[in-house]
Amino acid sequence: MDKTVLGSDDIARSLKRLAYEIVEKNSGLDEIVLLGIPTRGVQLAERLATFLQEVAQTPIPVGALDITLYRDDLARQPIRVPKPTVMPEGGIDGKTVVLVDDVLFSGRTIRAALDAINDHGRPKGVQLAVLVDRGHRELPIRADYVGKNLPTSRNEQVLVQLKELDGNDAVVISGTNDTNNTGEEN
């Protein structure tokens, strides 16, 4: 049975709160760069940048960081087509990079993202913003900014739907192992 735990308004409210937290923690946004992790992390990074721009009245550089070839489970997973990596103008050297993803689960996607960042520059620091933290970490990785903590069992799926890709905004907990519309890649 599926249970919707966040709707469109909840997602928007969470992202707006995350924007304020990012501004507060970084004492401004002068050196901030957002990098979304495909697929849904890119759309969330773009939305988060919009809220940050409203707060700080300054444009926020946004890019996309594909981690496909850095994953440690390529041999066990279905074939994945890499998405483009797009670095913001000015790059990431000396900047504070905020990685943006939809679901934090085992931490393996974020570990791969940290490896990928090293191939694109040397940031001053890296922070992590996620819409949902569902627990079950396998690596010592923690998000700096969390929209919603959702304790789940391992056999449940957290499905993030975004209007840009799925036609509507929702976060759904599903008891099945259906992997459609899931943002969690580990």
Residue 186 lies in a domain: no
Asked if 112 and 82 touch (Cβ cutoff 8 Å), the reply is no
User: Sign (positive/negative) of CA torsion 165, 167, 168, 172?
Assistant: negative
Q: pLDDT of 112-155, one tens digit each?
A: 999 999 999 999 999 999 999 999 999 999 999 999 999 999 99
Residue 184 lies in a domain: no
Residue 81 lies in a domain: yes
Residue 179 lies in a domain: no
Confidence check: pLDDT of 182 > 60: no
Residue 75: band (very low, low, confident or very high) from pLDDT cuts 50, 70, 90: low
Q: How many domains would you assign to the chain? A: 1
Domain CATH for 132? 3.40.50.2020
Q: pLDDT of 26-43, one tens digit each?
A: 988 989 999 999 989 999
Domain containing residue 150: 3-174
Confidence check: pLDDT of 68 > 70: yes
